[in-house]
Homo-oligomer: A and B are copies of this chain.
Amino acid sequence: MAEKKFRVHFAPHDLETYAAGGTNLLEAARAAGVPIHASCGGVGVCGTCKVRIEKGQVESSRTRVLSEAEYDQGVRQACQTQILSDVDVFVPIESRLEQAVLAREKKQAAGIAPIGWRFKPPVSKLYLELPAPTIDDNTSDLSRLLREIRSSSTHGNLQVDFAVIRKLPEACRRDNWKVTVTLLTLSKDFNPGSGAEARIVDVEPGDTRAVNYALAIDVGTTTVCAQLLDLNRGEIAADNIVFNKQISYGADVISRIAYSQKPGGLLKLQREAVASINEVLAKLLDQSQIGRKDIALATLAGNTTMTQLLLGVNPKYVRLAPYTPALNFVPLLQASSLGIQVPESVYLVTFPAVSSYVGGDIVSGVIPAGFYQRNKLTFYMDIGTNGEIVIGNCDWMVTASCSAGPAFEGGGIKFGMVAVNGAIQDFEIDQLTLEPIIDTIGGEKPKGICGSGLINAIAGLLETGVIGQNGKFEAGLATDRVRRGEDGYEYVIAWAADTQIGKDIVLTEVDIDNLIRAKAAMYAGCHTLARSVGVQCRDFDHIILAGNFGNSVDIEKAITIGLLPDVPREKFIFIGNGSLSGARLAAFSSDLLEDALKVGRMMTNIELSDNLDFNHNYVAALFLPHTETEAFPSVKEKMDRLALSRRKGGT
């Protein structure tokens, strides 16, 4: 006779499962597909898996995380409850946290989010009520703490930081042996050489579980972006961006490496990177009114050179053949040891790099892009100072890097700026009057122009015949917007009176040339890498665009100038700053941090720097959109049409 199964129904999800008598309710919830938050792993100590039994019989004793009132209302810990009959269960909002976080992140990643991960931050807080010492039990404070952690959690093997030991005697006694410990739990894979299940990184008197924040950082060559994350709510508490202060020592990684070889240069660049992080952190704290001391973790993604410079590891050999980084995997270290202004208890988890020119930022970006879990052939493109490309799916990945220069982030452009308030992000041009219509971030008067604005401006100038396919201004146009300036011919995007800076904002031929070279490098890289694995641009199921300027770029205009391939527009997906999103996801879930390690190991690096095919493709792409116009059929068609209409208009 088959064993009797009981029906277990979960509200408000309206999901159900059938389970044998005695089945654990948390397991039944998992079987029904109801994600319940259980941060202690289901051993009954954290109280995060509380549910309310609406109908039916269960066996569940009252544990110390349940108040009497809760117990009387039918609230139980799912992990401590056995099913004895058909049961109706209501899952309250707190216990649905994980689901909420997952949903939010999926939404942010526009349908390509990673799957199968749990909301399980690498740092967690554990509240303990220690027995006070007596003459018969006068073991050391540390032994007392470890004993309690072992008995009230699943953690057996624990490492302890020295700073914790120094705080311990007073922390224990300040609130009568009630303490909260902060545990950093990383898999053995991410913390090689350590078999520890967890590291005790902090101890505080009383119950401080209500505050637990992480700092996610993306250190780019041009900008440093960061988010402050609320690990109790799975939310972004603040988000900000600053220029990387290293910019004054060179615009790209090569010039930074060159500077780092001067006496004191490495230390100076290290300090500038740290100062940039501290600057963005100060903004985040100010914005969110969160206390610096409540930060418990930092995650960081950056390209190989930025990472080595930040860590004070000489990147000299990154730029010398055969291009060897000093390290791919970065061991855990205390963020404060680098000068980052966070408590000593904050560890820095750094994304692994693949090679000298494909760094942790790309590994990080692949996480929110999620294609490492899917079988669709995907093209991932991070458009920054260095352009990095990944082609692959869940079975294989190849990657390459091409030096685009800082133009896409506003660097090397006369009035270039990052995409913050006051930056011209969109540009249209009247075909007849050649007058511009601009749109700035925040709707303010313009201060300068950011990457997306640049692309749109150049596309507009090209379409209206103000510039030719070689990027040079046409002669004899009936507009005072085009004039000869101090850097040669230029187009006035905004007259001084209409700006915040009191100067004409112009786009020069030099600017246009810089952008053409940047887009040529990106396009040539994509083309070369695709050919190296025998695929063509039309074979891609998805083209994922990452990078700071990604979200606001106009696909049509980017194709017009030849930055992106001319393929059906629905294949393009924006994920914005993928590197930062990956850093955020890693702070939300150790699962995704482990995925990052796998991704790093999966990627095969292809060197483009000495590649003849790349050089050929680069030269061919130094044209708007390209010297081979047949590669851009829709652009050719549009350009021909516009040229015709101009001729008609002119007659």
Which chain A residues have a beta carbon within 8 Å of chain B's beta carbons? 133-135, 137-144, 157-162, 165-166, 168-170, 173, 188, 192-196, 199, 311-314, 316-317, 321-329, 331, 333, 337, 353, 355-356, 607, 610
Question: Is there an interface contact between B193 and A199, defined as CB atoms closer than 8 Å?
Answer: yes
Question: Is there an interface contact between A140 and B326, defined as CB atoms closer than 8 Å?
Answer: yes
Given contacts A143-B328, A162-B333, contact A170 B138 (CB under 8 A): no
Question: Is there an interface contact between A165 and B322, defined as CB atoms closer than 8 Å?
Answer: no
User: Which of B165, B188, B195, B322 is in CB contact (< 8 Å) with A138?
Assistant: B322
Question: Is there an interface contact between B331 and A162, defined as CB atoms closer than 8 Å?
Answer: yes
Which chain B residues lie closer than 8 Å to A166 at the CB level?
Answer: 311-314
Question: Is there an interface contact between B331 and A159, defined as CB atoms closer than 8 Å?
Answer: yes
> Nearest Cβ in chain B — how far from A278, in angstroms?
20
* CB nearest neighbor in B for A162: B333
Given contacts A322-B135, A324-B139, contact A158 B329 (CB under 8 A): no
User: Which of B158, B188, B313, B610 is in CB contact (< 8 Å) with A192?
Assistant: B158
Q: Which of A144, A188, A311, A324 has the most CB of B within 10 A?
A: A324
Starting from the known contacts A159-B192, A173-B317, 5 additional A-B residue pairs (CB-CB under 8 Å) come to A140-B324, A140-B329, A142-B327, A188-B195, A195-B195
A294 to B165, CA, bound (A): 30
User: Which of B144, B170, B194, B353 is in CB contact (< 8 Å) with A194?
Assistant: B194
Which chain B residues lie closer than 8 Å to A196 at the CB level?
Answer: 193-195
Question: Is there an interface contact between A160 and B193, defined as CB atoms closer than 8 Å?
Answer: yes
Question: Is there an interface contact between B193 and A135, defined as CB atoms closer than 8 Å?
Answer: no
A322 to B323, CA, bound (A): 61
Which chain B residues lie closer than 8 Å to A157 at the CB level?
Answer: 192-193, 195
Which chain B residues lie closer than 8 Å to A331 at the CB level?
Answer: 159-162, 165
> Nearest Cβ in chain B — how far from A218, in angstroms?
21
A607 to B134, CA, bound (A): 12
Question: Is there an interface contact between B322 and A169, defined as CB atoms closer than 8 Å?
Answer: no
A135 to B313, CA, bound (A): 21
A57 to B314, CA, bound (A): 53
Question: Is there an interface contact between B170 and A314, defined as CB atoms closer than 8 Å?
Answer: yes
Given contacts A138-B323, A168-B326, contact A193 B195 (CB under 8 A): yes
A595 to B425, CA, bound (A): 69
* CB nearest neighbor in B for A197: B193
Given contacts A169-B317, A322-B133, A322-B134, contact A142 B193 (CB under 8 A): no
Which chain B residues lie closer than 8 Å to A173 at the CB level?
Answer: 317
* CB nearest neighbor in B for A191: B159
Which chain B residues lie closer than 8 Å to A317 at the CB level?
Answer: 141, 169, 173
Q: Which of A134, A135, A193, A316 has the most CB of B within 10 A?
A: A193
Which chain B residues lie closer than 8 Å to A328 at the CB level?
Answer: 139-140, 142-143
Which chain B residues lie closer than 8 Å to A193 at the CB level?
Answer: 157-160, 194-196, 199
> Nearest Cβ in chain B — how far from A558, in angstroms?
32
A170 to B314, CA, bound (A): 9
Q: Which of A133, A165, A329, A355 has the most CB of B within 10 A?
A: A165
A4 to B144, CA, bound (A): 59
* CB nearest neighbor in B for A338: B162
> Nearest Cβ in chain B — how far from A11, in angstroms?
42
Question: Is there an interface contact between A311 and B162, defined as CB atoms closer than 8 Å?
Answer: yes
> Would you give 19 A-B contacts (Cβ < 8 Å), ordered by A?
A133-B324, A135-B607, A138-B356, A140-B326, A140-B328, A141-B325, A141-B327, A142-B327, A143-B329, A157-B195, A159-B193, A159-B194, A160-B331, A162-B333, A165-B311, A166-B311, A169-B317, A193-B194, A193-B196
A317 to B132, CA, bound (A): 13
Which chain B residues lie closer than 8 Å to A159 at the CB level?
Answer: 192-194, 331
> Nearest Cβ in chain B — how far from A417, in angstroms?
35
Given contacts A193-B196, A194-B159, A194-B194, contact A169 B326 (CB under 8 A): yes
A140 to B328, CA, bound (A): 6
Which chain B residues lie closer than 8 Å to A160 at the CB level?
Answer: 193, 331
Q: Which 5 A-B pairs have the closest CB atoms?
A: A195-B195, A159-B193, A193-B196, A142-B327, A138-B322
Which chain B residues lie closer than 8 Å to A337 at the CB level?
Answer: 162
A355 to B133, CA, bound (A): 13
* CB nearest neighbor in B for A315: B169
Which chain B residues lie closer than 8 Å to A192 at the CB level?
Answer: 157-159
Question: Is there an interface contact between A169 and B313, defined as CB atoms closer than 8 Å?
Answer: yes
Q: Which of A140, A142, A173, A322 has the most CB of B within 10 A?
A: A140
A355 to B329, CA, bound (A): 41
> Nearest Cβ in chain B — how far from A64, in angstroms?
25
A143 to B322, CA, bound (A): 15
Which chain B residues lie closer than 8 Å to A321 at the CB level?
Answer: 135
> Nearest Cβ in chain B — how far from A303, in angstroms?
14
* CB nearest neighbor in B for A314: B169
Which chain B residues lie closer than 8 Å to A139 at the CB level?
Answer: 324, 328
